[in-house]
Amino acid sequence: MSSLKPALFLDRDGVINADKGYVSRVEDFEWIEGAAEAIANFNRRGWYVFVVTNQSGIARNYYSEDDMHSLHDWMRARLAEQGARIDRIYYCPYHEEGENPRYRRDSFDRKPKPGMLLRAMSDFPVRREQSFMIGDKEADMQAARAAGVAGFLFTGGNLAQFAEWTLAGFEDGNRG
């Protein structure tokens, strides 16, 4: 099926922005070097780019879903200014120890479970075997494996350089 395209799955905190713990406001958002460039590079290749992010700060009453959506709208607008586009942001607001009863539960979407990745692959015609995830935690790697895609651990530096290095190694057979 020629309409299938590979997907780049990105965690948010620690990959797109510096992980300062429960980032929910524009003033606390700090871009990872090369994040917009990495996304734009994969857009130009014709890949899908998805963000898959645990947002337990919602369950913990640190911020609301509206706060998160506002931040994501701002993030997407800044990316668009640099020619970069995220096809969809998948998030999990749930945590089984959350303060907010509305969000206090186990969820198949919460990484290390693969729900968000599987949903993206259900919502879009993704070529799974050519897709991969970049995350900064072992839970991201576990979610990728459980969803049947390769996972690569980002430990800092320039995301665009890391993504290009990852893609080159991935295409050469290093499947994470």
Q: Which residues are catalytic?
A: 11, 13
Rounded CA-CA distance 119/132 in Å is 15
Cβ neighbors of 45 (< 8 A, separation 6 or more) are: none
Rounded CA-CA distance 36/135 in Å is 16
Token code pair at residue 157:
């530096």
Phi, psi of 133 (to 5 degrees): -115, 140
Task: Tell me which residue of 129, 125, 118, 134 sits closest to 38, measured CA to CA.
Answer: 134
